[in-house]
A and B are shown apart, each in its own frame.
Chain A
Amino acid sequence: MESQIADLFGPDPGEDPLAYYTGDPQADLFLASPAGVAASWRGFVSGLARQSDGQLAQVQAQLDRHVDELGLAFRLTGDVKERPWPLGPVPILIGAAEWAGIEDGLVQRAELLEAVIADLYGEQSLVTGGHLPAAMVSGSPHYARRMVGLPPRGGHHLKVYAVDLARGPTGEWRVLADRVRLTMGVGYALENRQALGRATGGLLAAAGVRRQSDFFDALREGIAADCSRSEPRIALLTPGRFNQSYPEQALLARHLGFSLVEGRDLVVREGRLFVRTIAGLKRIDALWRWINTQGIDPLNFDTRSRIGVPGLLSACESGELAVANWMGAGVVESRAMAAFLPRLCLRLLGEPLRLPNAATWWCGGRAEREYVLAHLDELVLSSSFRTPVALLPGGTTRPGASLSAQERTQLRGAMARRAIDYSAQEIIPLSTTPCLVGNHLEPRSFTLRAFLARDAFGAWQVLPGGLGRVSQQGDLRTSLMGLGDLSCDVGIVDQPGMEQPAAQAAPGPPAVRRAQGLLPSQAADNLYWFGRYAERCNETARVARTLLEEASGPQADGGGGTVDRLARLLSRWGAAPFWAGPLGAAEAALGDEEQTGSAPAHDARLRSLALLLRDRLSRDAWRALHRPPPGFTSGSAESLIAAADAWIERSAALMRLIADTMSRSEAWRFLDLGHSIERASLVLQAVQELAAPGARSEALSALLDLIDAQALYRSRYLALPHAVPVIDLALLDPLQPRGLIFSARRILQHAEALPGFRQDGRADSPLRLARSIYATIEGLEAESVGAAVLDDLLGRLAQLSDAIGRRYFLQETRPPPRDGGVLLG
């Protein structure tokens, strides 16, 4: 019956949203796809429609949530804050047969570029033989003369490679650009697949989309190949958290199990690279660098670099360090290089280029120059080496047709002097793919970034899929993502009957290992302060809450100045100005980010530390941290108390989420050490303020509130709070988790478990201090606790914190590179 209705009225668009999809039958990827692949598109999109009861727009909202939870973000150049990653729910699906052709071409191109790079840094026969003009090579800012005659161990300059591809209106694929310096997008491709997989259940698998995990295994093994040690330690070298693709780098490090390091974490000694860890220097065997060659070593490349590692090159020279990709590989990225690749392919590989690139003219040649000037309207003008040149100040591209008459004259003049700076490319019309717009699917033009990596044996593997970019308008030839672009997953669909080959004979399970990954000093530092700020945030909110409750309680006069004491405590912690008055102090502590000690100020610090710890935080912790902070109605005690509750829950939940999922490794110890030291120090300060000699029972009761021991006290003493038993609870009761001795014991346990440096068997100073603090507290009696004891303990806790910093964290901040000009007359 149902089928009859379908026959009469056509398919219900709610069931098959692609039924009424229209576009150019040849140029549109879906419309041009063979029947089997088209069925996969239909199956996937109808699945989406079923999941959302025909309301496809809801799918987007659901997907956005998954993107958010994965912590996917990126920056556009110039952005201060990260933007959520734009991911569309409809993947680009490519049939296995079509993909096989692309794959073939990509691998050939990778081999070709490897051969070109090897020649330019070796024999240079391409140049001396006249196959590649010298000026075409030397014009690249990425041609590193320093690397000539310095081949990588194992011979592979390229290990990771990304290619931008366009599909033309008749279905042929062309290369738009090669990316060998930074393969930006490979992490996003990984996460796009994960987010889409979570949001759409089994739809991808049902559509027969090939899995991608093998590629990332190959990438990891490929980077580890050629190392001189059998169990190499690998790090991902990032320019730092302000880099455009830092989120991507962090997630790749996490996914691949590489240490995420910055230049200042690393040091070169006698031709070997080391990372500074809490246990001293540890050797690094291989680096995946996300820093340009020019920035990677201020002693050997650009002296001005502040993000590199001085002397890194000497570790490469000695053969003790593998780097992906090898320094200088970027020379093949020049736009002008594409003009020569077809001929170079014949020369070096003895066969034609299988995957053509866009036709390109380098104006350094006289004939090419004349052709370009004569056909300007049909071409895209570009800077040969992506450097700023006259008319292209950003070093980018521009349609020739957009040049005014005056600009054309200017261009002729510039070409008469420096034609070498200019190239031109044919304009490639892009074909389209179905894209969700509101509730409907509409054709939108797209490009695809494909990724390749060498495996353990040096053979190239292609990621089945890649990063799709769909654009409403605008130029898809720009960097990673432009404003208004949407990314999408790319799936390779195996036709029925030619299911994907089973993973190659599995090499057997790896040996079980329990060793902890290494903990760079900087990460330890960040974890320690994360622990401290989380606790301080929590305590600040607690004090504010107790203050608000005291102030609105029956003894609104403040019960012997208790409210004032609490306000003073807040002002002492920098959470509120001292003139704020009790309510004002609470309000500042809970809502004023300008106050350096307020809960929102600590929260902001936690978020900025979290960026640096991105590779170590669980998704749940990340999500908790990025929930909007509690708000309140100004002046309303009730609303303020609710906000304080929310702050307390938020910071406590955060610590739990992190601590619960973190292995009990050294990383966890530093987090908990920070937390315990902060808690110990805050309880001492609370005792100073609230249990000073002559404190009234209201103040002591507030102290019990702060340490969550009100009920316990009542059950033990059945009396109004008295100083001695309250102090005993706050400082000396070993079972009281918010009490001092409890924290002191944890501190001592951590200090004992952390690695020691000393060869003579004596204790490092953090351990000595932790022991003495614990022993002092153990020897105290509540009756004898006075101002001097509290001051002394606070002082020693501060010394302990300093000692931990000196012993385990990076001390060195590098000054700007020295200017040698002083020697010159």
Chain B
Amino acid sequence: MQKYPKLATCCLGLICLIAFASARAEALAMEKVADGVYVHHGVHEELDEGYHGDICNIGFIVGKKGVAVVDSGGSYRVGMQLREAIRKVTDLPILYVINTHVHPDHIFGNAAFKADQPIFVGHAKLADAMELRKETYLRNNQAWLGEAFAGSEMIKPALAVASKQELDLGERTLSLQAWPPAHTSADLTVLDQKTGTLWTGDLLFVERTPSMDGDTLSWLKIIPDLEKLPAQLAIPGHGAVTKEWQAAMEKEKHYFEILLADIRSNIKQGISMEKTMETAAAGERTQWVLFDSVNRRNVNILYPKLEWE
């Protein structure tokens, strides 16, 4: 019989916690999609239901001088796992951490790279977008992820890209481009000139139903410009890496056009937003993952705006 069972349990718990915290993060599974270009595929999960902070494509590009991270995942923990994956490939310094946009699944791993002192890079409007959403994002992600959100921080870009920017990784140049409002108010693409690999951020969704937050009408307008980028391969924000990326862009565009047409037609006929959430773009249902929830949310966002056209 132990004399101080409670105290002993507490101490054991504390020792265990320390042991756990000091253990190295387990490296994320990566896919090498081109020479020096590595992607981790998150799973298609909702944010507010069963979210684990790992739902989008994140990864890194290795040059002769160093590494650029493209999106850091939804938590410090996922960022640390990405960092571990980088260290399995190279010991070169991490020079840049690029955020393609403000959404929490793409940015909350930034803090994992603080010790590497990289230059954080984003769209010129990203810092404002982060500041405006800071309180809500921190509160919601804390609620969704709990302990798994520990250590996560919102780190703003030090290098703001207003239109175009080149980054030199050593015998490898990345072309960054800032876009007008589309998926969000501050979307950035990254093109690796060496392999012709394009990181689209969430300007392209593959498999997962495209979600909307910025300006969908403006998004539709820039799709032709995106399709003209000199890329052989695209890494979408979510879903499989594809060589047929222009076709994937067209598929996304097709969904937007059908959704907009259905909502506009229903508004004209006086059919309510609630009913429209059930029926709009129904023919696209089999084409996408998480369609029921994301498509409903898209209607919820678009309908009140289109009522004022």
- Asked whether A and B interact, the reply is no
Residues of A participating in the B interface, judged by any CB pair closer than 8 Å: none
